[in-house]
Chain A
Amino acid sequence: MAFLEISDLSKRFGGLTAVNHVSFELAQGEVVALLGPNGSGKTTVLNMISGLLPVSGGSITLQGKRLSGLPAHRIAHAGVARTFQLVRVLPSLTVSENILAAILFRAGHTSEQEARIEAADLLAAVGLEGRGGEKATDLTYIDQKRMELARALASRPKLLLLDEWLAGLNPSELRIGIDLIAKLNARGITILLVEHVMDAVRALCPRAVVMNAGSKLADGPTADVLRDPEVVRAYLGEPHAAVA
């Protein structure tokens, strides 16, 4: 039994098939990249895993437990957390309340006092030490992304889904971001990340799954996959054609 099993997953939006019979598996402890040109269905796959969207067909199981069909909060309690491609903060809350939100409503009970300490630690871990009192909407976009990662970690996930979390970082921030993801993985969190920053993919992910127009195109060691002529062709004409 694989850790995460995605089998025959499909998503249709009216006439558009955004995800078309996609299957792949993740072993526990892996960091896998989910690649593909714009509009190929990567975010839609993450949306179905996290329960934001219902599946149109196929199934998703985590450690043998079926996730597809469950409401998103049950999926979160089962150990899945994510960040969003367009960052989503809880705007009326402070930075630290954004994290508390995820701590207090995760599976199991946490006292508010413990939660506050943990929130401060999580903020420090993503480089937002001492910023907890600020309004979440006052943070810069990059800091909001950091906060969103801290919020995802606050639910103590087994599986972390990152949707272009590294996009928009400058080179030094990128290095810190890559180190942070590697550290999370070293702590045992399995990670599926959608990313267009190929340096980061090469640095972090031994394995990559590539999608094109809703279907799975390739799955294997990252270096091989990025050399695959079909993958190169899928990316051609895209702004990210420089993958190979």
Chain B
Amino acid sequence: MKTILGLAAAAIAFAGLAAAPLYLGTYGIGLMIGLIGYVTLASAWALFSGPTRFVSLATVAFFGIGAYTVSVFYESFPPLVVLGLAALIGLGVSLLVGLATLRLAGVYFVIFTFGLAELIRQLVTWYEVNITGTLGRYLFVSYGPEVVYWQLLVLCAVTFGIGYLIQRSRLGLALKMIGDDEVVAEHCGLPTARVKLALFALSSVIITLVGAIQAPRWTYIEPTIVFNPTISFLTLIMALLGGATRLWGPAVGAVPLFLLFEWLSANFPDHYSIILGLLFMAIVFVLPRGVLDFLEGLTARMKSERSRQAAGTAPEHGKGRLAEGEAK
């Protein structure tokens, strides 16, 4: 019953969002493209990084690969074929990178993925300057922004669908096991390397597609735009703010942060990155496990408080004491 209600709510929300171009102006659609783009990026990032706790900064590497693939091939093939091609390239790169890095632990993985994004940017720049002789590329597609928006919306819905199915499947359990203790997971018979690789590839393909779908928005593409590391950091903060282990967490983080960054970059273009950095630190300090976790803890505490008052019992030792101390 709850599942049916949830699915119905999701379907209605999807229909409402799909109708958005009918009542939004050009600016509104542009904003929605950015917003849905980040919701999808953060959700796709969290598919892999949330449960496994492998923090990836390679987001922009795949995003940029997607965008560049479209800018190179959009005149040669129909749009959907180009998207498929981008997905394939993203898949290939993610499998290579995954095989090379998923054995790395913790901080080494973070550094490697960050380095990877820079490396790919440098490679593309080098190739464009030395082989093709142009740094930027113009990109004029025959369809309007509403098509970009609808494509993104479908990708976003698919991403949520995948996340939902994973959470309810053995794969979801497998990912939690890996995040908890990889040694125990292996000893339970779980091929951890393969599972991590598959999820990393899945997440990377979705991220590649976001870049590919959004590419026409720029009309002019160059490496510094589509391989901008800020995209990786934003995605990461959004997912962490909302809570990366929950289906809706990344979206809950992405919506307010995206709107805030839009506003900041419009009004404080020079200090935008400083504010971004400060915010990043604040989030990690104040809400290390995300807003949803925080809210859940809060409601749980309120509930137990209420039931205790109803039962007329004294607060338990420990937690109750601490709460009293804090109140004073």
Contact = CB atoms under 8 A, between A and B. Distances in A.
A76 B189 contact: yes
Nearest to B179: A92
Contacts of B186: 51-52, 71-73, 76
5 contacts: A71-B186, A90-B180, A93-B177, A101-B185, A155-B189
Nearest to B178: A90
Interface stretch (A24-32, A54-62, A103-111, A127-135): A103-111
A81 B187 contact: yes
A76 B173 contact: no
A76 B170 contact: no
Contacts of B176: 90, 92-93
A89 B193 CA distance: 20
Interface residues of B, number: 19
B174 interface: yes
B305 to A, nearest CB: 20
Nearest to B191: A73
B180 A91 contact: yes
A213 B183 CA distance: 26
B287 interface: no
B163 to A, nearest CB: 17
Contact of A101 (B177, B191, B193): B177
B188 interface: yes
Interface of B: 170, 173-174, 176-177, 179-181, 183-193
Contacts of A71: 186, 191, 193
Given A71-B193, A97-B173, A100-B173, A105 B180 contact: no
B183 A101 contact: no
Contacts of B187: 50-52, 72-73, 76, 81-82
A158 to B, nearest CB: 14
A183 interface: no
B193 A90 contact: no
Given A90-B176, A97-B173, A101-B173, A106 B181 contact: no
A82 B192 CA distance: 18
A162 to B, nearest CB: 13
B38 to A, nearest CB: 27
B188 A101 contact: yes
Nearest to A103: B188
Contacts of B188: 73, 76, 101-102, 105-106, 151, 154-155
B243 to A, nearest CB: 13
A107 B189 contact: yes
A149 to B, nearest CB: 13
